[in-house]
Amino acid sequence: MSARTQKRTRGATITDPTPRPSVTEEGKQMLQERIIDLRDRRLAELVPLMVEQERDERIVAQYEDLLAEIAEWEAFLAEAVVIAPRREDSPPVVELGDRVLISDADREQEWVRVVDPKEAFLDDERISATSPLGRALIGAKARSSISVEAPAGTWRCRVLRIDQPAQPARRSA
């Protein structure tokens, strides 16, 4: 257990119930690019409008919202742990960061990537690990059938393939 997730209280050690968030390497890069875009383009567009004598307060609110969003993403990235590639001998089950090919009852196939809820909005492939499908996929094996309990009802799908994050290339000495 890391020192980050433990707290000391009057001599006793207790576990912090909120572990650090996880992010894929690609998700981290996408969020860093988003921060740069927000700061360098979107905020820059609003600055001239902020100094006008009769400025619109909606512009001020928009500016403050962007500052808050930047601060939120920077705090998330400062706290988040990049998902490390698993060893080759790891069990072949779906874990956070994996890309998974699933097939529904109509045999339609779709790739999804199971990620931390904060990362899920980055593209259409990413799904939150806390979503009904994400929860059902975590721990599933390739070629297994899983049951997804969603608010609209229970449905089944099949896990066809699991692609784990690539291991970094080894440097030769």
The helix (H) or strand (E) run that includes residue 59 is helix 57-79
Q: What is the pLDDT of residues 90-138, one digit of tens each?
A: 778 999 999 999 999 899 999 999 999 999 999 999 999 999 999 999 9
CATH 3.10.50.30 fits 99-163, yes or no: yes
Phi, psi (rounded to 5 degrees) for 127 = -130, 150
* Domain parsing of the chain, residue ranges: 19-82, 99-163
Q: What is the mean pLDDT of residues 140-164?
A: 94
Tell me which of 1.10.10, 1.10.287, 1.20.1270, 3.30.310 is the CATH number of domain 19-82: 1.10.287
List of residues 6+ apart from 151 with CB closer than 8 A: 132
Q: What is the pLDDT of residues 12-57, one digit of tens each?
A: 444 555 688 999 999 999 999 999 999 999 999 999 988 888 888 9
Name the residue with tokens 């981290």.
Answer: 28
For 78-103, the DSSP string reads: HH-EEPPPPPTTS-SB--TT-EEEEE
